């Protein structure tokens, strides 16, 4: 059992002490519990629109993983197993036996690891543009793990580079060019977090634990058979340039009864690119509609997001 202390820092958000390190967690709503797990270089806030929708009839937990956001960034283990163990400790701290886990990108890999190591804690699983389902990965993330990247990343994340980039984005919109997608904006803003030395060190430790120059090094496909007895939803953006949507088909081979939702106007962050469509699909899944496993997810309403 983890050592648990809390200190409120804003509405529904707490700093929890897990084994001597502070983890920032948003805890909202009441009812059946949902745990949101963000991706690499991201934070719990990427889920804010979704947890506000679901908190009406669910209890929602959205932590900043260690090394991210407002949580501690200690020296130590940033492997998938270490992150999964921290989430298990988080559930213990809140007295939750089992939850629906929604994981995006790296968070999807962590969610699968949580389900593999502690299967009794994961009731349902939602994998959003998930890592761990194939080797292919965007070259930029692969390059970030190369030797010497610790010297290049501070330059890319520096304030003056971002000032130039932000100015270019504003000019882009003013001259009437197509809008930059929320996925691209989130990725650009996430890069700025690497200007902080502790965050950058944690990023490198995390990314190098699952990525090398050739792509993803940790795969879950040979362990997915253990998930066949539970409800699994795969959500992907057809325009994902970070992790290809073809990984969905690889997962379906091992999880033939999983449900799949492909969002046609989304990139790597479908919950940001098409929030209404994503929310409709997620709400139907987590609340349970009585569909048999493997039935297609009902078409979602068009998103208001561009």
Same domain, 116 and 203: no
Walk along the chain (306 residues) and give the pLDDT tens digit of each residue. 444 455 444 458 999 999 899 999 999 999 999 999 999 999 999 999 999 999 989 999 999 999 999 999 999 999 999 999 999 999 999 999 999 999 999 999 999 999 999 999 999 999 999 999 999 998 888 888 888 777 566 655 555 344 444 444 454 444 443 456 788 778 767 777 888 889 999 999 999 999 988 999 998 887 888 888 889 999 999 999 999 999 998 888 888 889 999 999 999 999 999 999 999 999 999 987 544 344 445 444 444 333
How far is 70 from 84, CA to CA, in rounded Å?
18
Same domain, 182 and 68: no
Helix (H, G, I), strand (E, B) or coil at 202: helix
Same domain, 30 and 175: no
The reply to whether 298 falls in a domain is no
Q: Nearest 5°: phi and psi at 16?
A: -100, 145
Same domain, 129 and 104: yes
The reply to whether 173 falls in a domain is yes
CA-CA-CA-CA torsion sign (102, 210, 46, 94): positive
* 240 is an active site residue: yes
Report pLDDT for 182.
84
Q: Which of 38, 268, 271, 303 is catalytic?
A: 268
The reply to whether 42 falls in a domain is yes
Same domain, 101 and 236: yes
The reply to whether 296 falls in a domain is no
Q: What is the CATH number of the domain that holds 10?
A: 3.40.50.1820
Report pLDDT for 155.
56
Total Cβ atoms within 10 A of residue 113 = 23
Same domain, 122 and 216: yes
The reply to whether 293 falls in a domain is no
Give the end of a domain, one of 156, 174, 208. Answer: 208
Same domain, 131 and 144: no
Q: Which of 2, 86, 105, 207 is catalytic?
A: 105
How far is 302 from 158, CA to CA, in rounded Å?
37
* 58 is an active site residue: no
Give the end of a domain, one of 184, 208, 232. Answer: 208
Report pLDDT for 194.
83
The reply to whether 241 falls in a domain is yes
How far is 8 from 12, CA to CA, in rounded Å?
8
Q: Which of 240, 266, 271, 273 is catalytic?
A: 240
Structurally, the chain folds into a number of domains equal to 2
Give the end of a domain, one of 208, 226, 259. Answer: 208
Q: Which domain holds residue 133?
A: 6-137+212-287
Report pLDDT for 180.
65
In 250-264, which positions are buried (b, 16+ CB within 10 angstroms) versus exposed (e)? bbbebbeebbbbebe
Beta strands in 179-230 (DSSP E): 211-212, 215-216
Same domain, 98 and 230: yes
């Amino acid at each position: 059992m983890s050592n648990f202390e809390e200190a409120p820092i804003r509405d529904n958000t707490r700093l929890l002490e897990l084994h001597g390190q502070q983890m920032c967690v948003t805890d909202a709503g009441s009812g059946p519990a949902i745990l949101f797990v963000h991706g690499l270089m991201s934070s719990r806030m990427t889920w804010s629109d979704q947890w506000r929708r679901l908190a009406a009839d669910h209890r929602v937990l959205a932590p900043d993983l260690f090394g991210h956001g407002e949580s501690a960034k200690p020296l130590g283990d940033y492997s998938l197993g270490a992150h999964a163990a921290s989430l298990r400790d988080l559930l213990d701290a809140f007295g939750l036996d089992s939850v629906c886990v929604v994981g995006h990108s790296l968070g999807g890999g962590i969610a699968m690891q949580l389900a593999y190591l502690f299967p009794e804690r994961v009731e349902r699983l939602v994998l959003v543009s998930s890592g761990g389902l194939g080797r292919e990965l965007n070259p930029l993330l692969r390059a970030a793990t190369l030797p010497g990247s610790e010297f290049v990343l501070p330059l890319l994340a520096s304030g003056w580079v971002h000032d130039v980039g932000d100015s270019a984005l504003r000019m882009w919109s003013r001259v009437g060019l197509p809008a930059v997608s929320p996925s691209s904006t989130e990725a650009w803003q996430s890069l700025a977090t690497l200007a902080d030395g502790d965050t950058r060190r944690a990023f490198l430790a995390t990314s190098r634990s699952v990525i090398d120059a050739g792509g993803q090094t940790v795969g879950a496909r040979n362990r997915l058979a253990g998930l066949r007895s539970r409800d699994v939803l795969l959500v992907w953006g057809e325009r994902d340039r970070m992790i290809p949507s073809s990984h969905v088909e690889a997962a379906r081979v091992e999880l033939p009864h999983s449900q799949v939702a492909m969002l046609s106007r989304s990139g790597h962050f479908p919950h940001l690119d098409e929030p209404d469509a994503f929310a409709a699909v997620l709400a139907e899944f987590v609340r349970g509609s009585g569909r048999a496993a493997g039935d297609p997810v009902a078409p979602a309403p068009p998103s208001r997001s561009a």
